[in-house]
A and B are shown apart, each in its own frame.
Chain A
Amino acid sequence: MSVKNKPTIALTGVTGFLGSHLMTSMLSRGYKIIVLGRPTKEETLQERISKLLRWFGIEELSGQLELVNIDFLKPMLGLQEANYKKLSAITDQIIHCASDTSFAERKRDTVFKSNVNSLESILEFAANANVKFFHYISTAYVAGANVTICKECITSSTDFLNVYEESKAQAENIIITFCEKNSIPFTIIRPSIVYGDSHTGRSLRFNALYFPIQSLKYIKEIYMNDIKNHDGKKSNQNGIFIDKEGYLCLPLRIYLPKEGALNLIPVDYFVNATMKIITKASSGGIYNLTNNAHTKLEIISKYNEKHMKIRGVEIIYGKSFDNVLRNPAEELFDRFIEPYRLYLSDNRIFDRVNTDLITDNLYPPEFTYEIFKNCMEYANSVNWGESIFAEENKKNQQC
């Protein structure tokens, strides 16, 4: 399809995980993209986007891409009137992807500022630009903590696992109310937990699924170093040792309130499904981009045992660890997974009638060992994100 036949999409959150994948996918499909973003202290918006494009293997900015420095918290997105009008005139649709994904209650103000307060200016822009569609990337977890089936409809829950869920639910309601009032067609797209590409393992972010694995990796390194390079006394005290097969035996009990599973989708599925929704959307559509094949923590633990050569991880359900003597590794790991603990025990079922219909029964793959291995190998190769742009930066410097 030629560029001429495609709508011009204003996209936010492009420097984030989902937004960046959406941008490159849409560019490859011939869409014209207007990136609404901002610079950091260290980099201009152009530098940030160029770096991302290089990571995706796109060497040059094409005529399909336009970058606009904006500020969500300022009137007219912080633009001069002429520029604002020009932007309004050329924008056909908006995909609002920008989001603060922090779960920490202490960051409540920042999270609400990013996820809720910023909506006013982007929605006003949608109205002024008279856009044909406003697509909002939300989360499947807006359904609330105490529901059994998460339907593809407006949420009325007031009980959330964290501030992120709460802010996204509030944002959805604001968007729906505003769009209905202003006759702006809209969709709400709700992915569950997104990991890297299911074929290559590549990813730009390494949170959610990756955190516990990364945590275990570092804990393993600490004890391997103690055993191999020092006297191993500390490991020995805690019953940690290397067995004959070279596995690190690390007694690590993970206490969870109840049995449950993770709902995981790969980023390539998220992109493909979202593209189908955008192409065929009807106003008011709410879509759960979730996986019918949930992944139990035992499965991930098994994958990890094989991949990382760690033994001794035990998952204990329904018991309190308050009076249990815990080793330092357990305490550290426990602290680490705290924000995710309830997601690991999740029993919610996600309805996806709308999604199945609009995506022509496109389903996310089951989370296999192969996928796990690819994802973790990639994460490791880029030092869990620390050196993700190292190659790109090197190439850039050489240029």
Chain B
Amino acid sequence: MQNNIAETGNLETPYKTAKNCRHYAMCKIDFLDSGVCASGLEKHFVSFYPQGRMILYEALVENKISVTEKCVEIADSCNLCGKCDYQCYFVNEMRPTKVMEALKHHVETFIKNGGKIKLTKDDRILSEIKKIVGDNWATNDEAITVTYSHDLSPISEPKIPDYIVMPNTKEEIASLVKLCKKNNIPYTMRGNGQNLLGFAIHEGVIIDLNRMKTIEFDEKNWLVTVGPGVAAFDLQKQAQKRGYRINASEPAALVCANIMCSGIMSTFSTTYGINADNFIDAEFVDNDGSFFSLNDVSSPNLYSYKNLQHKSSPGICVSASIKLHPVTDDESGILVPFQTLDKALDFIKDCAVRHIGLALGVVGTEYISTFLASTKKLASEIKNIFINKLDIPYLVVVIGDKFAIHTISEMGFPFFDQRHFRALYLGLPSLKSAQWLNLIKELSDDEPYSYLRIKSFAELLETALFPSPAIYSQDIDPELRPFFEKLFARQEITDLVWLNMYRIMSTRIGRKKPFLPVLIYLPIDNVLINELKDKFSLIAEKYQIDNDFGFITPIDNGKRCIFEYDYFFDHNDPDEIRRIRLAATDANILVDEYSVKTGTVKGHPYVLYQGFCRKENLLYS
């Protein structure tokens, strides 16, 4: 029997939705406090989360796999609760529930039409794996394995692994490593599959760490020890409950995997640091299946850094002791507008050198408009308004206590404070048709953003935009509107501190198209940064790739910064994938050239497997 579109009815829309899954794993964390897919929480395999079902459905429609036992179980386990619609719509403006329905329909139709469900037998290796982790936590069923064939990278080709294993202890991981080594089977660790370089997919065994979610606080020592399955969002949530903060990477990224691959970085890295600044110790299973801890005298020196692009993994990080940071009750966020990148860079450098603010980051209009707008269409309109009407091509996000915010005010920079931000955010749909924006532009002619100096500007903004959850939600899919109205009535969702500490502000950046960030470490040298920015843009233009400035965050007291430039691509367009690969190669070559030329520029891909290194070794050696 053929599992094609024609036989299963009008599947174009669910199929297109499935094909457009970004694989960001945001359906695996409860970032909207709306709950997470129940079957995913129970079964743990990604296949039982909406993300996995999207891939499964795509594979079924494309006849890549047959309807198997696990396929039926996966389809049946979805109760069509619709939670994934909330999560995916917030991030990508997509509604996966249609795909979940289509998957169920596909399987039901297959069975109704007498289709034979494929039974997958255990082979010798799988039997041995199951002896280690138990029957429920290892499989070679293709409905499961296919859902591990993707990651975020446009560089890698999808690969269907042979086995998926979900260990629960470090001892199980050690045994798995020994088994694989003995049988000469390649194995790959997987967190939430967010690797940008294609390292989360492989043939052989995929070891999914998502069952290992232990979080143990040691408040006396300002530490929290996490298992390798803990996502940044979940850890931050626990830390916040106890009055602390961690330096968090992308919300769905697993903390240990993130340190391993690239080191934790965020706008808070200005204060909290990068790489080895973020932890005290970590435990590993080495490539022979033995254990070591970073603090052991005899352990490999993972604090060192080699400027090499191709390195092997030192082992599997099975736990890490992450630093907790204090939080004060007077923190707030502001957005400081700038007409040029140079002025924004001068500002963040000045702040970083003087230790003003906890988190600092220059962002472009693509970043800010994409985050603020509820839909892609509105984001595009708002981006134009920022550039053409408000004359704001760059903004600096600052999170700081009242003294930091007061100091910035004293420095003479007009800014959008938290109240302005909330009004702007919740009143955004009104902004696109606001005639008075023409007036604002005239005011800017007098002094940049002089309107922000008007004492009652917040009240004016509130009167003009009439910000409210209902106004914000007016462009949202009507079926989802009631949920979003409730969501946006919550304070934290428009709170710059919350949005930044949980890294929610950057979650929509791939909504229009998936993106490939070019990340580099370099001095805050305006000429150098502008030169690189222009050259990244030229590379993108050469290959006709959408591109934009990402962000810049100062680190190490303003001596260096992290610079992200983004290339956007359609992951369903083979020609665009070909072009993004060429652009990525050219960008890497460019970074290498500058690395040699300046002696101060470091490309991010070099950090792979060296995320535990000291930042001093990375930045200055």
Instruction: Give A residues with C-beta under 8 Å from B.
Output: 102-104, 106, 207, 211, 214-215, 218-219, 221-223, 225-226, 229-230, 234-235, 326-329, 331-332, 335-336, 338-339, 383-384, 386
Contacts and interface: CB of A to CB of B under 8 A. Distances in A.
Contacts of B443: 335-336
Nearest to B462: A234
Please provide the 9 A-B residue pairs with the shortest distance between their CB atoms, ordered closest to farther.
A328-B456, A218-B436, A234-B463, A328-B460, A222-B464, A331-B454, A328-B459, A218-B439, A230-B466
Interface of B: 435-436, 438-439, 442-443, 445-448, 450-451, 453-457, 459-460, 462-464, 466
A328 B454 contact: yes
A222 B456 contact: no
B383 to A, nearest CB: 18
A103 B445 CA distance: 9
Contacts of B442: 207, 211, 214, 336
Contact of A214 (B439, B455, B462, B466): B439
A237 to B, nearest CB: 8
A109 B35 CA distance: 58
**Interface on chain B toward A: helix, strand, loop, or mixed SS?**
helix
A335 B456 contact: no
Nearest to B464: A222
Contact of B456 (A104, A219, A331, A386): A331
B238 to A, nearest CB: 40
Contacts of B438: 214, 218, 383-384, 386
A226 B456 contact: no
Given A234-B459, A332-B457, 5 more contacts: A104-B445, A218-B436, A221-B435, A328-B457, A335-B451
Contact of A338 (B436, B446, B457, B466): B446
Contacts of B450: 335
Contacts of B464: 222, 225
Nearest to A223: B463
Nearest to A215: B439
B466 A226 contact: yes
A104 B447 contact: yes
Contact of A235 (B448, B456, B463): B463
Contacts, number: 69
Contact of B447 (A106, A215, A327): A106
B506 to A, nearest CB: 31
B437 to A, nearest CB: 9
Nearest to A339: B446
Contacts of A338: 446
A384 B445 CA distance: 16
A353 B457 CA distance: 48
B446 A104 contact: yes
Nearest to B447: A106
A214 B460 CA distance: 17
B292 to A, nearest CB: 60
Contact of B455 (A102, A104, A234, A331): A331
Nearest to A107: B445
Nearest to A106: B447
B467 to A, nearest CB: 11
A104 B438 CA distance: 17
B247 to A, nearest CB: 38
Given A222-B463, A234-B459, A328-B454, A336 B447 contact: no
A219 B446 CA distance: 19
Contacts of B445: 102, 104
A332 B446 contact: no
B462 A327 contact: no
